[in-house]
Amino acid sequence: MGAICVGRLTLKDEPAGSVLSHSVRKSWKPAAIGACLGVLASVWKRDPKPSTALRSGFVGTTLGLAGGVVWNSRSVTGAVVRGAIKNVNAARDERWLELNPIDYG
């Protein structure tokens, strides 16, 4: 619940899908690099089957795209995580004070 509230504050008027699609659009370079590395890895293993190169290229593309999306959305993700931690700490402190009241007099 806390992460959702912080996410709404972080994104303001921009929908979450817009941030995600922007991250995906910016991630084509890591995806292409991952595809090249995947195909090169299958060539390096000297496996003559084209299906192996295709499979390795697909895995490389997937890993590159996922890494690119994570990297490009790190500012939003970081803000959401920081806000969620702040809310959890506040709830924990409130609960501790309920169980351990402080009497000053």
- pLDDT digits over 48-79, tens only? 778 888 999 999 999 999 999 988 888 888 88
Is 53 inside a domain boundary?
Answer: yes
Into how many domains does the chain fold? 1
Is 9 inside a domain boundary?
Answer: no
User: Who has greater pLDDT, 58 or 103?
Assistant: 58
Is 41 inside a domain boundary?
Answer: yes
Is 44 inside a domain boundary?
Answer: yes
Query: pTM higher than 0.75 for the full model?
Result: no
Is 56 inside a domain boundary?
Answer: yes
What lies within 8 Å, CB to CB, of 68 at 6+ separation is: 23, 24, 26, 27, 28, 29, 30, 31
For residue 41, what are the domain limits? Answer: 28-68
**Does the pLDDT of residue 10 top 60, yes or no?**
no
Cα dihedral sign for 50, 52, 57, 58?
positive
What is the structure's pLDDT at 81? Answer: 86
